[in-house]
Amino acid sequence: MAGSTLGHLFRITTFGESHGPAIGAVVDGCPPGMSLSVEDIQLDLDRRKPGTSRHVTQRQEADQVEILSGVFEGKTTGTPIALVIRNTDQRSQDYGDILDSFRPGHADYTYWHKYGIRDPRGGGRSSARLTAPVVAAAAVAKKWLAEKHGISFYGYMTQLGDLEIPFEDQSQISQNPFFAPSAKIIPELEAYMDQLRKAGDSCGARLTVVAKNVPVGLGEPIFDKLDADIAHAMMGINAVKGVEIGAGFKSVAQKGSEHGDEMFADGFASNNAGGMLGGISSGQDVVVSIAIKPTSSIMSPKQSINRAGDVSVVQTKGRHDPCVGIRATPIAEAMLALVIMDHVLRHRAQCGDVSVSTPRIPAQRP
């Protein structure tokens, strides 16, 4: 199965390389009749865009999306929506070194062995730039989910390098470049990043994303569980090395008497489950955390080999994010939205005429 496609019923296929003519996505299966404009998509793209603070890459990309199809007189027609973003910053660079030597932590070595050829310009297809079409496509899903089901998404940083970030104030998330839910930790984060940049090094991050108001019943019992599909989507984001649902790795040390979320008529008492039971959404908030590794492109030299198999020293120049996690929150939200959108349609397909008299309880007790 060719692999550049995500989802079954709401299905996106992306294309493009970091420094080729354009990147983009085809969104197939979108329900018809929804209002959709470039503005609806641009908002999320801008949240992900590089160059917005000194803590991220200074590369300038307009990231201006164009809708090539699937919309007529401002409404989705049900046919594929093609989204294209031209690469404006294709500065010709000397990539001779990168072509010859394999950067540690990068996809250079693996692409080379897999394909026998690769596009070295800015990382080619392995560049984090390829998350832009995903964010664009997900904006379509988010809009439909909000309008039809009142589902909303938000995400935030919970750890930067070894600094844990407390959840103090959700309204702060959009007020700082880190997506941190705390105002007072910002100076500490900034100092941390400034020092890191000065040292020519990089660090990792931990993010949490949440979907609220998800219907009960999404997901399949085996294999295509909702959490399994979420894990697939999240681990598919560049640099992600771990995925947790709800209590995640903390659940290892929990007792059964503690972990299982008790249920009351006025809601669930807790949310260790992270919104899924038996792979199927429970109506609790869907809560997903991811670990993002430190950027591999650093100024400090590292040992490697070249195409001949000989020893080589690699030192990255250019404009790289010292922590790719900083811009990843909108990407993780996007992935979560795409998976939920697909499962809303899958669920409707099979169980569209199911109704039970049992009331749905609230996501959380008051």
Name the minimum Å distance from CB 231 to its own copies.
4
Residue type, 17: E
What DSSP character marks residue 237?
Answer: S
Q: Is 70 left (phi over 0), alpha (psi -120 to 50) or beta?
A: left
Q: What's 310-325 look like in SS3?
A: CEEEECCCCCCCCCHH
- Alpha-carbon torsion, ordered 102, 108, 109, 115, to 10 deg: -140
Name the minimum Å distance from CB 135 to its own copies.
13
* Residue closer to its own copies (CB basis): 60 or 350: 350
238 labeled part of a ligand binding site: yes
54 labeled part of a ligand binding site: yes
Cα gap 288→59, rounded to integer Å? 29
294 labeled part of a ligand binding site: yes
Give the three-state DSSP class for 101: strand
Name the minimum Å distance from CB 155 to its own copies.
15
127 labeled part of a ligand binding site: yes
* Residue closer to its own copies (CB basis): 171 or 357: 357
Name the minimum Å distance from CB 53 to its own copies.
19
* Residue indicated by tokens 């749905």: 360
18 labeled part of a ligand binding site: no
296 labeled part of a ligand binding site: yes
Name the minimum Å distance from CB 121 to its own copies.
8
* Residue closer to its own copies (CB basis): 132 or 139: 132
Name the minimum Å distance from CB 279 to its own copies.
7
* Residue closer to its own copies (CB basis): 61 or 261: 261
126 labeled part of a ligand binding site: yes
Indicate the length of the chain as a whole number. 366
Burial class (CB in 10 A: 0-12, 13-18, 19+), 132: buried
11 labeled part of a ligand binding site: no
Beta pairing, strands 81-86 & 65-67: antiparallel
φ, ψ dihedrals at 167, nearest 5°: -85, 100
Residue type, 306: N
* Residue closer to its own copies (CB basis): 115 or 171: 115
* Residue closer to its own copies (CB basis): 94 or 171: 94
Distance of CA 322 to the CA centre of its chain: 18
Residues belonging to the binding site are 48, 54, 125-127, 238-239, 278, 293-297, 319
Binding residues for FMN: 125-127, 238-239, 278, 293-297, 319
Please state the residue numbers annotated as binding site for NADP(+): 48, 54
